[in-house]
Amino acid sequence: MINASYNVNMKSRLLLDRQLKALANRRRLDVLAFLKKNHSAYVGEITKEIGISMQALSKHLKQLADANIVTSKKRGLYVTYRLFVPQSSIVRKVLQEL
């Protein structure tokens, strides 16, 4: 029988694994730097600033969202992205360097 503390530790490790993988990409770091500077942005604004296709950006944003690094809010036809709060200590340290 697996105890509850093991399950919590495993979930924390899985999230940390997703966060580290999400942060290990230059394009995703560019997205995070843009969101840090602008607080929130629509997909079109990010693609224009970063210079990548919407399809590629969508994949990057999904990975960042799955890692609890960004969050989204749909407003009509547009989706706004912003940094997820609160951040883990590792994500905070990376954001400080951007």
Tens digits of per-residue pLDDT, 33-91? 999 999 999 999 999 999 999 999 999 999 999 999 999 999 888 899 999 988 888 88
Of 25 and 7, more confident:
25
Cβ atoms of 44 and 81 closer than 8 Å: no
Phi and psi, residue 37, nearest 5°: -70, -40
Give the chain's domain count.
Answer: 1
Two structure tokens written together for 9: 């530790």
pLDDT of res. 8: 54
* Prediction pTM value: 0.84
Two structure tokens written together for 51: 């210079």
pLDDT beyond 60 at 3? no
The CATH number linked to 92 is: 1.10.10.10
Provide the sign of the torsion angle of the four alpha carbons 58, 64, 67, 70, taken in this order.
negative
What does the alpha-carbon distance between residue 57 and residue 40 come to, in Å, rounded to a whole number?
15
Structural domain range at position 53: 4-97
